[in-house]
Amino acid sequence: MKYLSVTKGFKTRLNYLFLIFILFSNSLAAQLKWDGEASDGQWNSAANWVGDVVPAPGDNVQLDNSFVAVDYTVTLPGGSLAITVKTISISPDNGRHIELVLPPSNVATVPAFAATGPGYGITINNGGIFSNRSGNTSGNAVLVADSIQINNGGQYTHNTRASHATLVSLLSKSPGTETGIFKFDVPGGSYTFSSANRFYGILMFNSEASGGTQTYNAIAASPLNINGDLVINTGVTVNLDITNNVIIKRDYIQNGGVFNIASQPNNNTTFIKGNLIQSSGSITESSTGLPVMELNGVNIQQVNISGGIINSVNFRINNPAGISLLSDISLPFKLALVNGIVHTNLFKVNLLSTCSLIADSASNNSFINGRLRKEGLNGSFHFLFPVGKGIVQRWLELKNATGSYTVEFFKSNPQLLSNVVGTGVDHISSLEYWSVEADAANATANIELSFDNVNSGGVTDLSSLRVAQLLSVVWQDAGNTGTTGVVGIGSVISDVARFIAPNTNTYFTLSSNAALQNPLPVRDFLFSAQKTNEAVQLIWKTDNALLPVWFELQASSDGIHFSTIANIKAIKDGFDYQYRDSRLVVSMQWYRLQVIGISETFYSNIISVKGNDKTFSRIIPSVIHGNALLQLNSSHNANLRIIINDIIGRNIAGFQYKISAGLNSIPLRLSDLPAGSYLLSAREGSYCLASIQFVKL
């Protein structure tokens, strides 16, 4: 390493000042700083220190960039030499790195490096590294009398088979140390790390020093506390024989290897309060215990599992803020939905044939918002799919089903799929439907659909309520073999439904065989739209029984996310209404009415209008790792407001942008955006020109 040196004259003046400092500081220990003038990086070279004095046992040592403006490494002596100081602080300037190395050539049987002072004997600040590579295989190679502090961005690397238990028992857990790294990279065979009632910042396990494969074991009856991240890197196996809890207060990051959370018959729990990111490797147990991995953060947690979870690991969701999937997740043993919505985004939750499910069908606080798959049903009397959308669970249950099925709930108008009804169906819901996908052709099952008075639009008569199945663009009567609950809240069970084509969505919704029962919500008024030139003419007509106070006219560019574009006051004794929407109409525009009445409020059916085929929007690339481009085609010049919201609707970013008629490429600075699922909206005033969901990896 190249070192900066000071001139001889300047060094002489420094020596003089240093001696003056010693003479007038009898009550203070000396503070020695590194100047690197010897240019050999050796601790025991006197010329490397200001004052040309090698640190003594009573000295406070500071390795910083006061006299050396570049990164550098300081190597402690080898052989059996032992170094003792009062304190040492490794404090690089911002963006710099300074490393203190205890070399493998040092085989001292007493501590090769000791800090005897009170307070923080060893302080490692941001950019500082203390690499303990001692050749001693027993005892303590590094010892502090009081405590060691690894501040955020600092790192201690245990690169030796010497003991570390005494050191970590004195490891500071004060605020500001959460991202200080304690890294194990131990040579040789398996190694037991200290875990009983220990507090780490970032706890990292590596295997390079042992040739790419290493096993770390822990045996404890007390909690293991990780105030930062737990990081398991390639080639590492971590075996926990812990009868208490493991608490990870930030992220679980696995880049390979195996995390065995119960290597003995223990029913311990590993709590994760941050994100769960697994690029490869596996999470497992290898004994007869039934351990739990629980996500219990307070903010929404990201889950990206590209490796796997195997054996009898109970996976539990207990976070009221919810979970956001960045990958499919397959579970082998048990999924417990205690609290918090699982947002699957573009992915799915897959329960293997050996996996059971614990869920509360009456809770709107815990369900799967997206696709849920269950494999290997074997004529099961019933299996509950706790699915929903937004903040409402709308479960579906399969009865007497064999095979594998994927279920999703849609808070949307099934009449957009088809408005044709078959014999025995008077009308179907205009609010909601479910998709069920069977792996096998000609699979059969009874379908049980839940209903909720507020969210389903009104169930008034259980006997006339029906399950409807969409077959060949016709909503067919799938029957009513039984109901649960009461008018308003409950469920209805179909006859045996058949899935003709494998791996194809089959749709089901609520319906009624009586015109005057189960509104769902059907009202006797016309709502239609017609495009004229650059405007859309909207027309609706109420009936005599409806007593509206006003109407909210809502529009959407994707048929899912609606915003109000107009409020129209109801006319006394008036039944005919119309509104001209002169805003720019994109490729397809959806409309609905929220009718606010004296005694009830409900939505109309959703209608759509085809717009300018040349108008489109997209984000490129399709898989986003850094920044991206929003491509937007417009028929006119406009001032846009670009808004990015996270999965639970919080505003993450926003900016203004002027577009011209034609194709526009708008830069999106997404590199600092955390991994997750987001919704981008491009708005001109109150009008949403584009609404695009994307995932940042």
Contact by Cβ (8 Å): 378, 445: no
Q: What is the pLDDT of residue 229?
A: 96
DSSP labels for 45-75?
-GGGBTTS----TT-EEEEESSS--S-EEEE
As given in the structure block, the two tokens for residue 19 are 């001696």
Bridge-based pairing of strands 388-389 and 392-393 is: antiparallel
Q: What is the pLDDT of residue 341?
A: 96
Q: What is the pLDDT of residue 626?
A: 83
Contact by Cβ (8 Å): 645, 561: no
DSSP labels for 241-274?
EESS-EEESS-EEEEEEEEES-SSS---EEEE-S
Measured CA angle at 321 (ends 318, 324), to 5 deg: 90
pLDDT tens, residue by residue, 159-206? 999 999 999 999 999 999 999 999 999 999 999 999 999 999 999 999
Closest to 109 (Cα-Cα) out of 173, 163, 28, 48: 163
Bridge-based pairing of strands 617-620 and 482-486 is: unpaired
First to last CA, the chain: 37
Closest to 570 (Cα-Cα) out of 583, 553, 590: 553
pLDDT tens, residue by residue, 69-126? 999 999 999 999 999 999 999 999 999 999 999 999 999 989 999 999 999 999 999 9
As given in the structure block, the two tokens for residue 214 are 């290493």
Contact by Cβ (8 Å): 379, 401: yes
Residue 8 has φ and ψ, to the nearest 5°, of -60, -45
Dihedral sign computed on CA atoms, order 514, 516, 520, 526:
positive
DSSP state of 208: G
Residue 166 has φ and ψ, to the nearest 5°, of -65, -40
For 314-342, b/e burial (b = at least 16 CB within 10 A) is: bbbbbbeebbbbbbbbbbbbbbbbbbbbb
The CA–CA distances, whole Å, from 1 to 4, 22, 36, 41, 610 equal 10, 31, 11, 8, 68
As given in the structure block, the two tokens for residue 614 are 């040349």
User: What number of H helices and E strands is found in the chain?
Assistant: 3, 62
Q: What is the pLDDT of residue 58?
A: 95
Low-confidence ranges of the chain (pLDDT < 50): 1-27, 524, 613-615
DSSP state of 171: B
Euclidean distance between CA atoms 55 and 461, whole angstroms? 89
Q: What is the pLDDT of residue 587?
A: 58
Tokens 């570049």, residue located: 70
Q: What is the pLDDT of residue 545?
A: 60
Q: What is the pLDDT of residue 465?
A: 97
Q: What is the pLDDT of residue 15?
A: 42
HSE toward the beta carbon, residue 165, CA cutoff 13 A: 13
